[in-house]
Chains A and B, each alone.
Chain A
Amino acid sequence: MALSGSLREFALSEILQLLSSQRKTGSLRLNRGSETRVIYLLEGRIAAMRDRGFSEEDPLARFLRRVHRLSEEQMRGIASIHAESNRDFVDLLLNGRYIEREELAVLYERMVLDVLHEILSWDDGTYSFSNVSPPESALQVSLSTESMLMEAVRRMDELRRYQQKLSDPSLVLGLKELPDPDASLGEEEKELFGLVDGRHTLGELVQEAPFNDFEAYEALFRLIEAGWIEIQGRRAPEAVLAEAPSARVGLGATWRTEAALAGACVLLILLVQVLAWRTAPSPARSAPGENVYATMGLRDVRAALEAERARSGHYPPRLTTLVEQGWLEPSQLTPAGAALAYCNDPGDSSFALTFAPRGN
Chain B
Amino acid sequence: MRHTPVAALLVLVAALPAWGDESFDISKYEKKAFEYKGYLELKPEEQFLNQGATGYLLQFPNDNRTTADRWSTAAELSGVLRHQALSFNFTAHGSYLKDVNGSEGDARFFEAYGRWQADPRSSIDIGKRSLGWGKGYAWNPVAFLDRPKDPVDPELSREGFVMADAEWTRSFSGPLRTLALMPVVVPTTADLNPDFGTAGHINPAVKLYGLAFDTDVDLIYAAKDSRPSRFGADFSRNLGSNLEIHGEWAHTVDAPRALITPSNTLAMETLSYTSYLLGLRYLTERETTFIAEYYHNGAGYTESEMQRFFTLVHDAASTPALVDIATRAAAQGYNSPSAMRDYGYLRVSQNEPFDILYFTPAVTLFVNPHDHSYALIPEAIYTGVTNFEFRLRFQLNHGGAATEYGEKAVRSRIELRVRYFF
A interacts with B: no
Residue numbers of A with Cβ under 8 A of B are: none
